[in-house]
Amino acid sequence: MSNSRLKNRYAFSGVGLTPQGKVPSRSAQSFHVEACANALRDAGLPAGEVDGLILYRHFDPVGGDVDVSAFTVAEQLGIRPTALSQETYCTRSWMTHAIGLIEAGFCKYVLVSYGDNARSGRRSFVKELRNGGEPSDMLAAYGDFSTLAKYAMIARRAMYETGTGSEVWRNIAVCQRQFANLNPEAAMHDKLLTPEDYDAAPYVVEPFRLLDATPTTDGGRAILVTTEERARDLAVKPVCVMGVGEASQPKSPAHMTFEDSRYAPAASAKAAFEMAGITIDDVDACEIYDCFTYTVEATMRDYGFFEPGESAAFFVPERIGPGGSLPINTSGGMLSEGYFMGLTPVVEAVRQLRGGCGARQLGVLPGSKTPNIILCSDNGGVFQSHTTLVLGREC
């Protein structure tokens, strides 16, 4: 069944940010609550109107912090939502969940939030480091520790099959840092990055260097989802959801091949483009989930922007960097702005389409054009779950 009837029916309204980077002596819950309160203030919506609350995902507490749940965040906000949700794993269904709640009439306004004190609390995504060195599963016998190792394995395979490598990832890292240098809110705002700096960075898991991987961040993000009609009555200009696609490929990373048409990023993008009624030629900018530099390359390939083997010619500063013809991750992305998972790209896309991003604002930044359509991605697991969003300035 076609979902084209949903085109431009839903919109993003208020967005909420908090201080980010290293913000000591803060709880993860405090970031959730502050981000949510700021999103509601931005939208001009009374807290009591919120009838859906989705916490982006659950993490184990770090640094002596208490556990965070949707119940405790709702309590601190003083709201009594009809629907509360908090995913434990890396599935990416928050957008379709929000739309479903509203479409079915259970909710009118769904608030989605992310908060973590990961940097101050020294969060690690290597389970063995938390378990006294004990292996978390049988793959540890092969040196497969953590999500990082799984992405590295897939990237290594791509190097063999397509000829990609550090010359591509270097440009992604450097160009995104250049955007962060234009973003005073970015954690890496005052830290320049040259190609030589990238090459000098040590390997963490080959073929990834330190600067290929996203650092953890303290802070929070929140965004309000509602119908386009209701959003027009709020305090800020709505950003319309022209298309949305969600797909999952529940397959272990060792068995994945991106030639499979069911590969989650490709299937998700196909659905989103069909709903929006556009092609890649209509896209003005991209905000791509960038847990690693290779994730950006893989996503853009799977979305159809270039063929396997063409990434070196595609990822050049004249295209993806400040002033480029197809800018990518204009806030600095998770690599250089802040690690808020899928809310990093989505919030930046909304802010760009609304205007007011300062020196990095497309259409103000020299050589750039005002965006009308921005493409976003949200990637879960190891390319196992994926959401694609096509966002528009006008409905």
Q: Among 35-49, 129-143, 306-320, which is the least confidently predicted range?
A: 129-143
Q: Say which residues have a Cβ less than 8 Å from residue 146's Cβ, sequence separation at least 6.
A: 125, 126, 127, 128, 205
Say how far apart CA 72 and CA 78 lie, in whole Å.
10
What separation in angstroms does the CA of 357 have from each of 129, 194, 288?
Answer: 39, 24, 18
Instruction: Tell me the mean pLDDT in the region 324-349.
Output: 97
Phi, psi of 112 (to 5 degrees): -115, 130
Say how far apart CA 222 and CA 389 lie, in whole Å.
17
pLDDT at 91: 87
Task: Give tens-digit pLDDT for 236-294.
Answer: 999 999 999 999 988 888 787 777 767 899 999 999 999 999 999 999 999 999 999 99
Tokens 């070196």: give the residue: 312
Task: Give tens-digit pLDDT for 77-126.
Answer: 999 999 999 988 888 999 999 999 999 999 999 999 999 998 988 887 66
pLDDT band for 129, please (50, 70, 90 cuts): low
What is the percentage of the chain residues whose pLDDT exceeds 90? 82
Give, as one character, the DSSP assignment of residue 52: E
Phi, psi of 375 (to 5 degrees): -100, 130
pLDDT at 130: 61
pLDDT at 1: 44
pLDDT at 141: 73
Residue type, 303: Y
pLDDT at 124: 77
Residue type, 2: S
pLDDT at 143 over 90: no
